[in-house]
Amino acid sequence: MNRRLKDLLAPVAVFVFAILVWYLISLVVIDEGRRFLLPTPDAVVRVAFLDPVSLQELMAGLGLSARVALTGLALATVIGLGLAMLMSQARWLEKSLYPYAVVLQTVPILALVPLFGYWFGFGFESRVLTCVLIALFPIVANSLFGLRSVDPGLHQLFSLHGADRLTRLLKLQLPAALPAIFTGLRISAGAAVIGAVVGDFFFQQGDPGIGQLIYTYPRRLQSEMLFAAVILASIFGLAVFWLFGLASRRVTAWHASHEPNPLSPGGDK
């Protein structure tokens, strides 16, 4: 209980300190005539979250961006795991496909977004495709690493029992690769949220997502709404990351990587 209390108090203390610094800069450092550049936290809460009309606009934008991000993440997971499993079966497949996965990671996504709009329109499909391309590589790279990192002795044991490729993949490689796969999913979860916001910035058509609101509010000088939109987008990204972290701990609790380290603080001495 004491350890859990300490784990809770540490981020709460940092949060309180950040709020105090925010108030200090807004009320003391910035002149009253320029305070719109950094409104106080209570002003953000009052204007954005306590006003039903403003809150409804923010939640509608967040809902659209969440749908885009989660759809893109789901597609990236299916495609990424499929590619990783395919490449893990033969070195020539890895050498043939992996360089193109690296190319997708290195090409600036901002250079491809206008092409998506030109080819597929500026609606839901193009925004999802942006999320897929941003979230794909971490899943491919981490999953392939996990599938390739199985103990050679276990491979020999499966060969001794005459296991075929499919049995070896499903009963040996995939279970052993789960920690690495979930690491990739946690990285891609945050990347998918970024992709949804980036797509909103460029696809300025249709129902506005949270990114489009972030783009619009500075033009209207609605600084309180701008800060609220940024906060909501950040909270959503943290929530998705936390959910995948929780799923990782539940699914891979048996794995050695989750065993307590006797030399770590709080570990068994």
pLDDT tens column, 31-78? 777 777 888 899 889 988 888 998 899 999 898 889 999 999 999 999
The reported pTM is 0.80
CB-count exposure of residue 43 (10 Å: 0-12, 13-18, 19+): middle
| H or E stretch at 164 | none
Nearest Cα to 199, choosing from 108, 106, 122?
122
**pLDDT for position 259:** 44
Residues with Cβ within 8 Å of 114's Cβ and at least 6 positions away in sequence, in order, are: 202
Per-residue pLDDT for 255 more than 70? no
Alpha-carbon torsion, ordered 23, 28, 32, 35, to 10 deg: -40
pLDDT per residue over 85-136, tens digit each? 888 888 888 888 888 888 877 877 777 777 877 787 777 888 888 888 888 8
Q: For residues 63 and 68, what is the distance between their CA atoms, to the nearest angstrom?
A: 9
Number of Cα atoms under 13 Å in the Cβ half of residue 53: 1
Nearest Cα to 237, choosing from 178, 175, 184, 193?
193
Domains in the chain, ordered, with CATH? 56-250 (1.10.3720.10)
